[in-house]
Amino acid sequence: MKLGTKITDLLFRRQKVLGMIIVFLFFSLVAFRFDSQKVRLIWNDYPSIALTIALIIAAFALVWLKLEKQRTQALIDKLQNMLSSQSEVKSNKLDELSNRQRAVFDLILAGKSNKEITTSLHIELSTLKTHINQLYKILDIKNRKEIKQIDKEIIKET
pLDDT per residue as tens digits for the range 72-83 = 888 888 888 877
The contacts of residue 105 (CB under 8 Å, 6+ apart) are: 94, 97, 135, 147
Identity at 149, one-letter amino acid code: Q
- The pLDDT score that the predictor gives to residue 149 is 79
Alpha-carbon distance of 107 to 101, in angstroms, equals 10
Alpha-carbon distance of 122 to 103, in angstroms, equals 12
> Three-class SS of residue 33?
strand
**33 backbone dihedrals φ, ψ, rounded to 5°:** -125, 135
Q: 135 pLDDT exceeds 70?
A: yes
Q: Which residue has the higher pLDDT, 135 or 41?
A: 135
pLDDT per residue as tens digits for the range 61-108 = 888 888 888 888 888 888 888 777 666 666 677 778 888 988 998 899
How does residue 155 score in pLDDT terms, banded at 50, 70 and 90?
Answer: low
- The pLDDT score that the predictor gives to residue 1 is 57
Residue 143, CA atoms < 13 Å, CB-side half-sphere: 1
pTM of the model: 0.46
- The pLDDT score that the predictor gives to residue 154 is 63
pLDDT per residue as tens digits for the range 20-39 = 888 888 888 888 777 777 87
Residue 132 has a CB neighbour count (10 Å cut-off) of 19
Q: What is the DSSP letter of 45?
A: S
- The pLDDT score that the predictor gives to residue 127 is 93
- The pLDDT score that the predictor gives to residue 129 is 93
